[in-house]
Structure 1
């Protein structure tokens, strides 16, 4: 007789993602996962395959959640207001994170992307999607005259991705708003330069 799974797959995946995000891939043991997910090893392997497959699903889950947050970049409205709010909300998330986790994708890029092609591809797609949203918003702001900069919108978007990841990395060491806010303030001035 087949065993019935007595856990919610999505909740278990969320718990695994949180564990990987807090500790990284290598430092998170299968026992850590079993403990935090509230399932036994057999259920973990039957449902998710192995630790690596579970990690890839956790990255996908994080990417999906982040994609929903970046949908704000595609909203109708004043491009400057949209980008300014997006950047400050992004910065505040780092300030408010008591665990100083940073960005799960950035953490994974540093830990694994040079030796794990599947992780590297997911990270590339994640940042590419964010960059496309930023590029479209900046280009619209340039067309409407909201942003004076004539620099290539894609290059400006890449710059903002770098600033955002810098906020996450610096925020892991010092998550004080007084440290991180100037990074956003200065970055936004780039849109008004020639």
Structure 2
């Protein structure tokens, strides 16, 4: 009869995510994951598959956390422009809270892994596509509400916002001054008004 593994999967994913976030995928060893999760190697392989499979689960869990945060923002916003402002406030808050200057796991993954593994590329492209679609819908709604200008199409502004958010998250690794980060966010948002 096969041995049944019993452990808190969410806790294991949280600990593994912390290791991948600290070291990146390539610098994380299986021993690092064993040490962090307190699972033995065979339990990790049996439960998650390869290191890459575990990393993908960590990325999805990290993504789910942000999807929830963004959903809460969208529900609390007065209008589309306000929702975009609140998105930047979320990223500003998370950047300032990140005392180790690790940055965003997904943004870091783009820099480290976007051209190395097909499964990672598929995940990143799917994440990008859904986020750009959300931004495009926000912009289109904002243009109908007259809170966002009509100088560009919703798609053009969505692409601009997506790349601006990626840049903002990357800049936040080196810039920890709240005033400077707020200036960057305000400048990006001003383009829409």
Deviation at 1:154, TM superposition (A): 1.3
Structure 1 runs not aligned, ≥5 long: none
Q: 2:105 maps to which residue?
A: 104
- Tell me how far 1:156 sits from its aligned partner: 0.7
Give the TM-score, by structure 1 length.
0.92
Are the aligned partners of 2:73 and 2:83 in contact in 1 as well (CA < 8 Å)?
yes
Equivalent residue number for residue 137 of structure 2: 136
Equivalent residues of 1:91, 1:180 under 8 A apart: yes
Relative to structure 1, the CA distance from residue 47 to residue 22 in structure 2 (aligned partners, 3 Å threshold; closer, same or farther) is same
Q: What is aligned with 1:48?
A: 48
- Structure 1 partner of 2:126: 125
**Equivalent residue of 1:160, what SS?**
helix
Matches within 5 A, 1:57-96: 57-72=57-72, 74-75=74-75, 77-96=78-97
Offset, 1:118: 0.9
- 1:111-141 Cα offsets, whole Å, 9 max, x none, are 1111211101101111211111111111101
Measured in 2, the distance between the counterparts of 1:66 and 1:168 equals 13
Report Cα offsets for 1:59-110 as digits up to 9, x if no partner.
1211222222222464373222222122112112111111211111111111
Say what the alpha-carbon RMSD is for the aligned residues: 1.6
